[in-house]
Amino acid sequence: MTIPRHQDGHATHPVHEHESLWTATVSMPHFAPLAGDVEADVCVIGGGIAGLTTAYLLTQAGKSVVLLDDGPLAGGMTGVTTAHLSNALDDRYVEIERVHGVDGARLAAASHTAAIDRIDAIVKAEHIHCDFERVDGFLFLGPDDSHNGEELLDRELAAAHRAGLVGVEKLPRVPVGATGAALGPCLRFPRQAQFHPLKYCAALAAAIERASGRIFTHTHADSIDAGPPARIKAGSFTVVSHAVVVATNSPINDLVAVHTKQAPYMSYVIGARVPRGSVARSLYWDTHDPYHYVRVQPGPESAQHDLLIVGGEDHKSGQADDTQERHARLEAWARARFPIVDGGHAIECRWAGQVMETIDGLAFIGRNPLDKENIYIVTGDSGMGMTHGTIAGILLMDLLLGRENPWTTLYDPSRKSLRAGGTYMKEAANMAAQYVDWVTGGDVASTEEIRNNSGAIVRRGLVKLAVYRDEHGTLHERSAVCPHLGCIVGWNASEKTWDCPCHGSRFDKLGRVINGPSNRDLTTPGA
Ligand code: FES
């Protein structure tokens, strides 16, 4: 792997490696762990944008709410998003209409528009300083579509209009700014938005507390008994509540039902310095598969630069380990199109996050399939976690308050999207293929080959071990079998995690679970 170099010979070493722009610039408020039994109307598990928005709206509606998170607040995927707030769906309206019909596409458009409007309203009502601003969004052609792309844009424009989006138009070129490369024709989506997700989440948490909601972090929900009333065990303590919302990115309470309908993908991001004002503040994304997505975050007042945030290079989780190459390709792609500052710190940060892609392009929000009526889930962000997380807050509030909501059926976790069957079969085959890892060899023949601060899968007889050698040379051995449904995890050298290729569980280097659906750590061999 060669790290890109520029005219002055400096390598583009980032200031923040494996750290998002958001976590590098904001410290989230601290909350104590649960230290006694408590009761509430609703227990929300998970303190990302979906859990916090749900808790916020419920407390505003007068409900008593307890929120639990097993890490710091917003320490999961909310901290590594690029925070595009868009009603131009990732899968694009032609596909959403094919799978969900015109009426479904209209509801999807209306719900994402409402999510942006709700964030706008909350920002104003709570006087939140989170860099929220309305911007335009531009869909332009990827290299593969540059020849026949005009027709692609025309079809998408017509589908967006049928979905009820107002003001979407085709332009002859992307108005990227005076110094950017010509990106060709595009669709303009008005009244999109962007913000700093952690500033927003920190303010939501403060507002929840002001409304008498209770937040406990570093509190792991070990089990959920639906009751009623529901009983959530967390260590030695219990939360008793009428209802439970599981907002843990990938549900920890549902072993199978939704996990066969979504798949985890890693996505990569760089934050590059561009001269202040040189790139118009807008959202940009192309038609490539996987697509590139771009936005501009203003730099600090004292600086002469903005940060161009560029994402893409997605792959199925646990099925590639070439992070540096992917970040380098992103940088090359961005340099060919935008006026990135040259110099040693042109790339200010590089990070990665996991996206849960559903088979039909929309999140699963509502009552958990096969569970009692008081257990709700939100999962399947589909690359639109900020708007889907906010839709979850609005929809779950209505369901919990017994109100009608027109989006209920569209987002129902029990739905069967028959027209998405091809995607379902493809993902099912991919998951099934992962079980072959049970009989293959390890990444290395012996633990001697594992360098310090690195990990590898090692076969020992009939079993496979996830072996990490720490900075001091000490080996830490765990079973490589994911406690969820038994796939073999893989080492992620960039993030220093063990990632499961089947349904997205992730574990830290010592095997402690950091992302569901597994709710348990990798086991210690022989324990
Ligand atoms: Fe399902 Fe690992 S996440 S088997």
Is there an atom of ligand 1 within 6 Å of 518 CB?
yes
Do residues 507 and 488 lie in contact, with contact meaning Cβ atoms separated by under 8 Å? Answer: no
Specify which residues 365 forms β-bridges with.
Answer: 378
The span from the CA of 301 to the CA of 279, in Å, is 17
CA of 342 relative to ligand 1 center, distance in Å: 42
The span from the CA of 432 to the CA of 339, in Å, is 44
CA of 310 relative to ligand 1 center, distance in Å: 29
Which pLDDT belongs to residue 259?
A: 80
Atom of ligand 1 lying closest to residue 434 CA: 4
Atom of ligand 1 lying closest to residue 250 CA: 3
Instruction: Report the candidate in 232, 324, 336 with the shortest Cα–Cα distance to residue 292.
Output: 336
The span from the CA of 259 to the CA of 470, in Å, is 33
Residue identifier of the C-alpha nearest atom 3 of ligand 1: 503
CA of 389 relative to ligand 1 center, distance in Å: 23
Q: Which amino acid is at 273?
A: R
Which pLDDT belongs to residue 1?
A: 33
Atom of ligand 1 lying closest to residue 517 CA: 3
The span from the CA of 360 to the CA of 374, in Å, is 25
CA of 488 relative to ligand 1 center, distance in Å: 8
Report CA Rg, the chain. Answer: 23
Atom of ligand 1 lying closest to residue 500 CA: 2
CA of 479 relative to ligand 1 center, distance in Å: 14
CA of 178 relative to ligand 1 center, distance in Å: 48
Do residues 411 and 363 lie in contact, with contact meaning Cβ atoms separated by under 8 Å? Answer: yes
CA of 518 relative to ligand 1 center, distance in Å: 7
Do residues 349 and 21 lie in contact, with contact meaning Cβ atoms separated by under 8 Å? Answer: yes
CA distance to 377, 393, 398, per residue, from 61 (Å): 20, 12, 10
Specify which residues 214 forms β-bridges with.
Answer: 66
Is there an atom of ligand 1 within 6 Å of 500 CB?
yes
Is there an atom of ligand 1 within 6 Å of 390 CB?
no
Q: What is the DSSP string of 195-243?
A: --HHHHHHHHHHHHHHTT-EEE-S----EEE--SSEEEEETTEEEEEEE
Mean pLDDT by 10-residue block, N- to C-terminus, for the chain (527 residues)? Answer: 36 71 93 98 98 98 97 94 96 96 98 98 98 97 80 96 98 85 91 98 98 97 93 97 93 73 92 93 94 92 89 88 89 91 82 92 91 89 95 98 97 82 64 61 85 92 92 95 91 89 91 90 86
Our mutation pick for probing the ligand 1 site, out of 505, 507, 514, counting the most ligand atoms within 8 A of Cβ, is 505
Which pLDDT belongs to residue 182?
A: 82
Query: Which residue matches tokens 């088979």?
Result: 359
The DSSP bridge pattern shows strands 38-45 and 237-246 to be parallel
Which pLDDT belongs to residue 143?
A: 81
Is there an atom of ligand 1 within 6 Å of 505 CB?
yes
Atom of ligand 1 lying closest to residue 505 CA: 3
pTM for the full predicted model: 0.91
Do residues 291 and 310 lie in contact, with contact meaning Cβ atoms separated by under 8 Å? Answer: no
Atom of ligand 1 lying closest to residue 485 CA: 4
Instruction: Report the candidate in 47, 35, 42, 376 with the shortest Cα–Cα distance to residue 240.
Output: 42
CA of 435 relative to ligand 1 center, distance in Å: 11
CA distance to 30, 40, 169, 417, 524, per residue, from 99 (Å): 43, 39, 24, 7, 44
Is there an atom of ligand 1 within 6 Å of 194 CB?
no
Is there an atom of ligand 1 within 6 Å of 485 CB?
yes
CA angle, corner 285, sides to 422 and 360, nearest 5? 20
Is there an atom of ligand 1 within 6 Å of 207 CB?
no
Residue identifier of the C-alpha nearest atom 4 of ligand 1: 485
Is there an atom of ligand 1 within 6 Å of 504 CB?
yes
Which pLDDT belongs to residue 255?
A: 58
Instruction: Report the candidate in 328, 330, 402, 323 with the shortest Cα–Cα distance to residue 367.
Output: 402
Is there an atom of ligand 1 within 6 Å of 503 CB?
yes
Three-state secondary structure call for residue 269: strand
Query: Which pairs with CB-CB distance under 8 Å and at least 24 residues apart come from 32-36?
Result: 32/216, 32/217, 33/216, 33/217, 33/218, 33/219, 34/68, 34/216, 34/219, 34/234, 34/235, 34/237, 34/239, 35/237, 36/237
The span from the CA of 27 to the CA of 78, in Å, is 14
CA of 247 relative to ligand 1 center, distance in Å: 18
Our mutation pick for probing the ligand 1 site, out of 518, 519, 521, 522, counting the most ligand atoms within 8 A of Cβ, is 518
Is there an atom of ligand 1 within 6 Å of 481 CB?
no
Which pLDDT belongs to residue 191?
A: 98
Specify which residues 244 forms β-bridges with.
Answer: 43, 375
Please report how many Cα atoms fall inside a 13 Å half-sphere around the Cα of residue 508, on the Cβ side. 7
Q: What is the DSSP letter of 488?
A: B
